[in-house]
Amino acid sequence: MLPFITSLILLRFYTTFLVDVRGLGVPEAALVLAVFSVGSMFSAFLGGRLGDVFANRFGPKGRIILMQIYLVCFSGAIFLATQIDSNDRVYIYSSTFLLGIVFSVGFSGCVLPIVSTVVPRKLGASAFAFLFSFYQGGITAILSLNIGIIASVFGDLQITFLWFCVLPYLINAVIWTLFYVTYPKDFARQEERERRSAELAATRAGTGEGEGTPA
């Protein structure tokens, strides 16, 4: 699913879009991006809360349900912010704030908790580093290079956002259906590993294994 998380591409070109398409000056475009950042700050907290609510209500599948809702909503938010032709300042600021409010819900409420519940705790840091720094960072670098070339070919950032931001998120919502099959199994497998580890630790504590021998 990571190649279809193209929001980093959106953020990289959004300021340029505001200047070239919306007709804002560079200082005001930076201010609009600050409005997005304020929205994303609340989005991280909102995502965590919603993730807990959905997990408590629907079990392991709850975060998958929330992620699919998020993907569709974020695709819609990108569409509103980039595909509706309007130079009205109120619309630009409000649609950008909406984009920020939705932005982090999936990551904080779904992706991070899901990874943390299927990976052994001692490997958690390595898993996050591989997935989100190495793997996703490489994908972002490749997409950034190519989307710049594509945007120059199209000559229109608006069309570029439609094909490379709006549609990928909708495709990803479909891809996440596969997690209904795989994630509950991985979740149960990790719980079993933790149960066995706890039992082994209790057994060792009961037998005194690992304690130093008195002098």
| CA 35/CA 97 separation, integer angstroms | 6
| CA 50/CA 161 separation, integer angstroms | 27
| CA 71/CA 68 separation, integer angstroms | 5
The answer to whether residue 162 sits within a structural domain is yes
The answer to whether residue 213 sits within a structural domain is no
The answer to whether residue 102 sits within a structural domain is yes
| CA 199/CA 205 separation, integer angstroms | 10
pLDDT of residue 207: 74
**Residues in the chain with pLDDT values less than 50:** 213-215
Burial class (CB in 10 A: 0-12, 13-18, 19+), 170: middle
pLDDT digits (tens, 9 = 90+) for 63-76: 999 999 999 999 99
What is the domain extent for residue 139? 2-206
Helices of type H across 59-178: 62-82, 89-103, 105-106, 112-118, 124-128, 136-154, 157-161, 167-175
pLDDT digits (tens, 9 = 90+) for 111-122: 999 998 888 878
pLDDT of residue 137: 78
The answer to whether residue 188 sits within a structural domain is yes
pLDDT of residue 135: 82
pLDDT of residue 25: 94
- For residue 145, the domain's CATH number is 1.20.1250.20
pLDDT of residue 211: 53
| CA 94/CA 26 separation, integer angstroms | 18
The answer to whether residue 212 sits within a structural domain is no
pLDDT of residue 210: 53
The answer to whether residue 62 sits within a structural domain is yes
| Number of structural domains found in the chain | 1
